[in-house]
Structure 1
C-alpha cells in the first residue's frame, strides 16, 4: 500500500459497492466530521482518535454518505451540470450546502438555514441559468470580501502594510497575486474553500508587501502570522482542481 492510500478508508455499502473516504487528523478538530463535495468524501477527526472509533463513525453514517454521493453523481466525469430548478450540492466555505431554486417576484439569493436559496421570477425561465450564475457570482464575491475585510483589519496593522485594493475574480491557476502597484487579486473559487484556506492565501499575498520573493525569510514571515500555512497550501494543491471546476460549473466561466 502506498503512503497516499494510507490516508484513505474503504467503506463497503449495503448494496456491495465500495466508497473511498479521505481521512485526516486535524490538531484543532474537536469532533469527527464527515463532509461530501464534488471532489468526494472526507473525514476529519481530532488527533489521537482511535482507528476503531473512526471506522465506527463511518459505518454509522454509511447510508447518509451513499445518498450524498449519489446526489452529486460522482462518476469520475466531474461535477454535474447546473440545471435550473434542480437542487444540487455545492461546497460553500468548506461546507457541503444544498442549493435550491424558488419562484418569486424578484431575483435574489440568500442562505436560509443550511440551504442556499436562489429565487427567480417565473417569467424569466428562459434566462434562468445566466441570471442564477450572475446571482451566484455576486454572492460568492460578497462572501470573500466580508472575510477579507476582517483579515485585513487583523493583520495589516501588525504587518504595517496594506494592499491599495482587492480584486476578486476567477483565476485559471493561481489562488492569489500581488501586482507591482500593491493591488491584491484573489480567486473567486476561494469562496467555496474552507475559511482557513482563504486566510492562508490572504496572508501569503500580504507578506509579499514586505518580501517580493519566496525566500526562507519570506516563509518565516508567513509562519509568524499563520504557523499552519503548510496544511492549507497542501489542501489547495490537493483539492484546487476540483474547486476551480466547481466554480466554473456555478458561474459558467473560467
Structure 2
C-alpha cells in the first residue's frame, strides 16, 4: 500500500471520509479524477500547488461520492473475503451464497443452496490461497461452458472462429482479439449476466471480420445481437463493481 502522504482525505456532505490516491505526472496537462474498482485516484501536472489540487477535489466531491456509491465502494475498496464466513456473491448475474465447509481434500461444488468451498481448516486464514485458486478455476469453467455454447451458435453466422480463447482478469477491457486471432475474455464476466457475456463474445467475434469500430462493424454486431447497446451500457455502469468483486474473490 502506498504511504499515507500519497493520499488525500476528503470529507463528504454526509460526514463520511473518502481517501483519494494522488499522483503527479510529468506529462499530465490537467488535473484528472478517476474512479475504478481500486478506488479513487487524482492525477495532476508536476508543480501543481497543493491548494489547487485540494480545491479541484472539493469541487468534484458530489460526483466522486456518487461514483463510489455506484461501484459499492468506499475509499478503502470492497470488503475482504473472510475464511469460514458465508457471503453473497454474483454469479452469472444472480446473487448466490458462498459457503465454507471442512473437508480432507480441497474442492468446490455448485449446489442448490449456493457455492460450497470444501477445504481443510476452512475457518483458518491459511485456507484463503486455496479458496482463491478454487474460485478462479470454478469461474473460468463457468465462462468456458457458456462461451462454448455461444461459439457454436455464432461462428457459423460470421464464417470465422478464433484460434483460441483465453480467460483471465483484465484491468479495464472486457475482451480483446490479438493478431493471431486469439480471443481473451475477462474472468469477471463469469459474475455478469449471460447477456453481457454474449455481447462481449459477439463483439470480439465480429472483429474477426472487421478489425475496427466503423459503422459497418457495428452494423454486423447489430445483425447478430440487436440489443448490444443495452449490454454495453450495463457493463459501463456496473462493470467496475464486478471487477472489484472478482478482485475480492480471487485476490487480483
- Give the match's secondary structure for 2:242: helix
Length-normalised TM-score, structure 1 = 0.69
Q: Deviations over 1:163-192 (max 9, x none)?
A: 000000000000000001100000000000
Query: Which residue number corresponds to residue 120 of structure 1?
Result: 119
Alignment of 1:1-254 (within 5 A): 76-77=74-75, 78-122=77-121, 125-253=124-252
CA distance in 1 between partners of 2:134 and 2:204 (Å): 28
Instruction: Tell me the secondary structure at the aligned position of residue 139 of structure 2.
Output: helix
Structure 1 residues not aligned, in runs of 5+: 1-73
Alpha carbons 2:135, 2:250 under 8 Å: kept: yes
Q: Is the 8 A contact 2:165 2:183 kept in 1?
A: yes
Distance 1:221 1:112, change over 3 A: same
| Secondary structure of residue in 1 paired with 2:167 | strand
Cα distance, 1:121–1:239 mapped onto 2, change above 3 Å: same
Counterpart of 2:48 in structure 1 is none
Per-residue deviation at 1:106? 1.1
- Greater Cα radius of gyration, structure 1 or 2: 2
Deviation for aligned residue 1:79? 2.8
Task: Classify the secondary structure of the residue corresponding to 2:185.
Answer: strand
**What is the CA distance between 1:122 and its match in structure 2?**
2.7
CA apart distance, 1:76: 3.6
The two structures, once aligned, show a CA RMSD in angstroms of 1.7
Deviation at 1:105, TM superposition (A): 1.7
Change in Cα spacing, 1:142 to 1:212, as seen in structure 2 (3 Å) is same
Instruction: Measure the CA separation in 2 of the matches of 1:114 and 1:226.
Output: 33
Report how far residue 112 of structure 1 moved. Answer: 1.0
Name the TM-score, length of structure 2 as normaliser: 0.69
For the residues of structure 2 that align with 1:185 and 1:124, how far apart are their CA atoms? 35
| Runs of 4+ displaced beyond 3 Å | 74-78, 123-126
Task: Give distance in 1, aligned partners of 2:111 and 2:163.
Answer: 34
